[in-house]
């Protein structure tokens, strides 16, 4: 696959588009590997990790615990502040913006091939949701 675009120049919504898929896949793998295999239960379980509310919660925790680098915070804010023309089904606009920021951060880490950091943050996120 040719990489003709610098991920650091992408807008927040493009980063979020990628991050949504990357985080969703990580959650799906986690659920499968923990023994959940019934499709309906998988979907219901996945929702608790990937909903806008869950992602906004995770972002708040990451910022509160100062887990993000300055650069990571910049890309979170790029996504959070991006003007989206779609609305979340089950979240207010503030929550949806925070969720978009979360996804932009994940997309940024993925597209800049920061694999170890991405794995570290996604593992932390999954564990945080499981505490709830």
**What residues are annotated to the active site?**
20
Measured in degrees and rounded to the nearest 5, phi and psi for residue 89 equal: -70, -40
Distances (CA, A) of 29 to 18, 36, 42, 132: 17, 10, 10, 20
Show Cβ contacts of residue 60 under 8 Å, excluding neighbours closer than 6 positions. 98
């Amino acid at each position: 696959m040719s990489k003709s675009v610098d991920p650091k120049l992408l807008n927040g919504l493009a980063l979020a588009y990628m991050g949504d898929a990357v985080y969703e896949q990580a959650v799906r793998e986690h659920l499968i590997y923990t023994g959940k295999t019934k499709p309906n239960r998988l979907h219901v379980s996945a929702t608790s990790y990937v909903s806008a509310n869950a992602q906004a919660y995770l972002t708040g925790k990451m910022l509160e615990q100062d887990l993000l680098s300055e650069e990571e915070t910049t890309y979170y804010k790029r996504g959070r502040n991006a003007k989206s023309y779609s609305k979340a089904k089950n979240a207010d606009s503030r929550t949806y913006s925070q969720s978009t920021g979360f996804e932009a951060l994940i997309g940024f880490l993925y597209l800049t091939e920061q694999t170890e950091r991405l794995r570290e943050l996604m593992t932390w996120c999954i564990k945080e949701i499981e505490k709830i």
